[in-house]
Structure 1
Amino acid sequence: MAHSTENAHRNGQRIGSDSSEKQLCQYPTSGSVLSQSPTAVEDREQDWPSGWRPYTALFGCFLLMFLSWGLINCYGTFLSYYSESLFRGDDLMLSNLIGSTQSFVVLFFSFITGRLLDANHSRELLLAGSIIITIGMFMLSISNGNGGLNQGNYGLTWLTQGLVTGLGMACFFVSSSQIIATWFHKRKGFAIGVVASGASICKSFVVAVLLARPNPAHPFRKPEKWMSKRTWVDTSAFRDAAFCSFTASICALFLGFYCVFFSLEEWAATNGIAHKGTPPPGSKVTLSTYWLLCIMNGCSTFGRLSSAWLCDKFGALKVHMMVTVVSSMLCLFLWTFADTLAPALVFAILFGAFSGSVIGLPPASMAAILGPEPDRQARLGQWTGMMYTAAAPFALVGPVITGHLVTKYETYLGVQIWSGACLLVSAMFMALAKFFKDRKGTSGGSNEKV
């Protein structure tokens, strides 16, 4: 009898231990709190994290953002070359489709990468992304003959640049913001903004993969069964009005945002504002179209960093909504009336700064919607990934539609109005998300800035 009691006691201890471990790793149910190490609790209480690891991870994630969304930001230069040389005379929507396919693939697979990140599989994702992007860009370089007039192979270009490199970038995109969010708690918005600024600067794969490591003290969610719908789709998100409204805003955002970046160089060349290649003799146009896109991307670094600092002070959703409204007004009024170099440069500078904030803040805004609780923040990768996946079809069709409008009507006015209207609708949904979050925070007693 005593022996049986002793065995039962030992078994009870073992079962209790297993149960405690599952509470840490298992998919968290509503109201559950993930276990945390003393280090994690101490880190959350500090204004800035201590030690060198968080800051090397910050630099690594900064590089990951360039290697994913930074390549998409540069696609306007690819498109200018394609329409001028490889695919001259083709409908512009075909060239736009290559870049929009990249956007679609990166966003569509975000719900998978986000869930894998929540389960602490960042190393495997980064290695896979490095290999896939390298293969895609190498094959792109040999798929179009000598690169001469109308020597382009559209099918191979779409496959290598649109699909293959898009798959590789999908491994990096959500990883860049999610990994750094495990290190910076009180300064999460600023850290994500620094990472987002990497979309305008070029660096290498190796350094990014070596340095971008999540905080080992962060509570990770390892599911009991990977082959389960609940593992990949958090249905509780759809019952959160702020999440649904903000996801709708990101869908509207991607419907019009990259139409600007894809169209800028061709718009400037068509309207005689800047030139491609060598300027013709006697031409008064002195600026290459390439520099307009470089200026826009360069100024986005300032916008991403400044807005990141502001969102820690005033709330991510509030800052995100305001910069989106300003970006919309720049498209609708400044871009539509820019017909010489001076206003075109002003537009490139201002839109670059504000649009950098617009595209860099979604992860910070989603973190604000989730709230500061550790069990809620443990879902950041999955909720962010689900948000981006929902936006993927809109990122695919937006540039295709505007590209065809340009070919059919031979004007960029449709692109300018389309982009401005989409950004304005996006800001309206952000305001709605903030309303729902504030209402929920008031009823729940949360004082977190959103």
Structure 2
Amino acid sequence: MSKEKEAQAENMVHSDCSISSRDEVDDIERMSRASNVLERTFTTCSIVDPGPPPDGGVRAWTMVACGWLVIFTTWGWVNSYGTFQTYYSITLQESPSTISWIGTVQNWLTFFIGALSGRLLDAGLYIPTVIVGSVLQLLGMFLMSISTKFWHLMLTQGLLTGLGGGIFFTPSLGLVATYFSSRRSFAIGIATTGNAVGGMIYPIIVRELLPKIGFAWTTRVLGFLNLGLLAVVLAFMRPRLPPRQSGPIIDWAAWLDPVYACFVAGLFFIIWAIYYTFYFLASYGVQKVGLDFASSASLIIIVNGVGVPARVIPPYFADKVGQLNMVVPTVLFLTIVAYCWLAVENVAGLYVFTMFYGLISAAMQCLVPSTVASITPDLNMVGTRLGMAFSSLSFAALTGPPIGGALQSAMHGSYTGASIWAATSTLIAFVLLGAARVNKVGWQLRKKA
């Protein structure tokens, strides 16, 4: 009997070990399945090479719609800063040049972080990138609602919202570009209308709600708006290309390409001018032609709103005649309009200048992403090169408005010197962009570039 009991006990031990072993195997399998689900959800490691871009279809146009929401919540938000510049000039005891640093830091970070975040699209980490960027931007907007001092607003509106927007903007735009080939400019042009619409909607909300519910709840309303829109982006926007497993964060060889180098250098000078004009246009209306705050906010709405058709029509033709062939003459027209600011002396003239400047500057800006894509030989490098371009432009966005503001202070509040500087910067941009076109196809005017 003793031997039988020992045998039974031994069998029970083996049985327990077997059950334990099966449980461990099941646990490992469950963890493996969970890991695979997370990998498929948050990365593109499971994607095989899908071949050429679909260049249309429901999925591709859904990406355009989501890209529109991304640009609405990033550059629409950034371009509405002129309204806040005017409000802060009234409520904060700081000079216009000092206050403009809030917007320029926000703008700089939205551009600059692109060098890193653009590479994250190439690495297959788009979804985590959008999550982190969205959280930071929304945190900045809600903390902005309790900000009362200059340094509070610098940390919240300047640092946090700029950092968050920069993290997810460039990968999203690069993602849209990978879904199109022959219609890439048109698709990105449609997506970039989010910039113009956002530049209208945010100032309208501020203008209407600020006198009624105050600054704190106005900014909370803007935060809840972005929360809803970014939730839609996270639900539907997905990359189509597998990750590029290796490669540098910066493609140094791009700077040896004269087309790319001249193009980015030209953009630097034009961004200097554009963001000075956008930030100080409303203040000019208050200080020089006698507009009140509500009317000056309308200038920001107009300068962004008139750009909606300009962000669709030029890209449509750019796909046919070439991106650089559209960019160069557009910047020439913008140069002429920029010099016309010197002749503005009354309300009517300011509104006319605002409409033309907004229309032509929008046409130029919407062509930037597709032009970078068109001069990038490998689509897998679009995110990296786009990020490099935007990061370079970030320093123009950072320094342009303060330089203009400093010129105004040096001339005792006169806008003349700053206006000449902005217009001349645009002229230099025209020369450099023309050089990029010549380096690509030579002096043949009819050749697609």
- Residue 449 of structure 1 and its aligned partner are, at CA, apart by 3.3
Q: TM-score, normalised by structure 2?
A: 0.79
Cα displacement string for residues 134-165 of structure 1 (whole angstroms, at most 9, x for unaligned residues): 10011111011xxxxxxxx1111111111111
Query: Paired residue for 2:278?
Result: 261
Cα displacement string for residues 51-80 of structure 1 (whole angstroms, at most 9, x for unaligned residues): x21111111000101111111110000000
- Residue 120 of structure 1 and its aligned partner are, at CA, apart by 2.2
Query: What amino acid maps onto 1:418 in structure 2?
Result: W
Distance 2:324 2:123 in 1: 27
- Residue 404 of structure 1 and its aligned partner are, at CA, apart by 1.7
Query: Paired residue for 2:397?
Result: 395
Query: What amino acid maps onto 2:390 in structure 1?
Result: Y
Cα displacement string for residues 139-195 of structure 1 (whole angstroms, at most 9, x for unaligned residues): 111011xxxxxxxx1111111111111001102321232111111111000111111
Q: SS of 1:295's equivalent? A: helix
Query: Paired residue for 1:211?
Result: 236
Query: Paired residue for 1:361?
Result: 367
Equivalent in 411, 414, 418 of residue 417 of structure 2:
414
Query: Paired residue for 1:86?
Result: 92
- Residue 36 of structure 1 and its aligned partner are, at CA, apart by 3.8
Report the more deviating stretch, 53-62 or 247-256. Answer: 247-256
Answering whether residue 118 of structure 2 is matched by residue 114 of structure 1, we say yes
Aligned length: 373
Q: TM-score, normalised by structure 1?
A: 0.79
Change over 3 Å in CA distance of 1:440–1:384 after alignment to 2: farther
- Residue 440 of structure 1 and its aligned partner are, at CA, apart by 12
- Residue 415 of structure 1 and its aligned partner are, at CA, apart by 2.5
Query: Paired residue for 2:61?
Result: 55
Query: What amino acid maps onto 1:98 in structure 2?
Result: I
Equivalent in 407, 431, 435 of residue 405 of structure 1:
407
Query: Paired residue for 1:321?
Result: 328
Query: Paired residue for 2:192?
Result: 196
The aligned runs of 1:3-402 (5 Å cut-off) are 36-37=49-50, 40-41=51-52, 43=53, 48-50=55-57, 52-87=58-93, 90-144=94-148, 153-202=149-198, 204-214=229-239, 216=240, 218=241, 220-223=243-246, 231-277=248-294, 288-333=295-340, 335-371=341-377, 376-402=378-404
Q: SS of 1:428's equivalent? A: helix
Query: What amino acid maps onto 2:357 in structure 1?
Result: F
- Residue 113 of structure 1 and its aligned partner are, at CA, apart by 1.0
Query: What amino acid maps onto 1:91 in structure 2?
Result: S
Cα displacement string for residues 339-363 of structure 1 (whole angstroms, at most 9, x for unaligned residues): 1222211111111111112222211
Query: What amino acid maps onto 2:301 in structure 1?
Result: C
Distance 1:208 1:341 in 2: 40
- Residue 414 of structure 1 and its aligned partner are, at CA, apart by 2.1
Q: Equivalent pairs: percent with the same residue?
A: 28
- Residue 448 of structure 1 and its aligned partner are, at CA, apart by 8.9
Q: What stretches of structure 1 move > 6 A for 4+ residues in a row?
A: none
Distance 1:207 1:426 in 2: 37
Q: SS of 1:294's equivalent? A: helix
Distance 2:347 2:358 in 1: 16
Assess if the C-alpha contact under 8 Å between 1:58 and 1:212 holds in 2: no
Distance 2:142 2:443 in 1: 50
Change over 3 Å in CA distance of 1:118–1:449 after alignment to 2: farther
Query: What amino acid maps onto 1:270 in structure 2?
Result: Q
Assess if the C-alpha contact under 8 Å between 1:62 and 1:176 holds in 2: no
Which structure has the bigger radius of gyration? 2
Assess if the C-alpha contact under 8 Å between 1:177 and 1:363 holds in 2: yes
- Residue 196 of structure 1 and its aligned partner are, at CA, apart by 1.1
Distance 2:417 2:234 in 1: 41
- Residue 439 of structure 1 and its aligned partner are, at CA, apart by 4.9
Assess if the C-alpha contact under 8 Å between 1:260 and 1:415 holds in 2: no
- Residue 391 of structure 1 and its aligned partner are, at CA, apart by 2.0
Assess if the C-alpha contact under 8 Å between 1:68 and 1:173 holds in 2: yes
Distance 1:233 1:264 in 2: 35
- Residue 219 of structure 1 and its aligned partner are, at CA, apart by 5.1
Unaligned runs of 5+ residues in structure 1 are: 1-24, 27-34, 145-152, 224-229, 278-287, 442-446
Distance 2:386 2:424 in 1: 24
Assess if the C-alpha contact under 8 Å between 1:296 and 1:353 holds in 2: yes
Assess if the C-alpha contact under 8 Å between 1:274 and 1:289 holds in 2: yes
Distance 2:327 2:321 in 1: 10
Query: What amino acid maps onto 1:180 in structure 2?
Result: V
Query: What amino acid maps onto 1:92 in structure 2?
Result: P
Distance 2:345 2:437 in 1: 37
- Residue 306 of structure 1 and its aligned partner are, at CA, apart by 1.3
Distance 1:251 1:395 in 2: 8
Q: SS of 2:375's equivalent? A: helix
Query: Paired residue for 2:12?
Result: none
Assess if the C-alpha contact under 8 Å between 2:107 and 2:162 holds in 1: yes
Query: What amino acid maps onto 2:128 in structure 1?
Result: E
Distance 1:115 1:207 in 2: 23
Query: What amino acid maps onto 2:395 in structure 1?
Result: P
Query: Paired residue for 2:11?
Result: none
- Residue 211 of structure 1 and its aligned partner are, at CA, apart by 2.6
Query: What amino acid maps onto 1:176 in structure 2?
Result: S
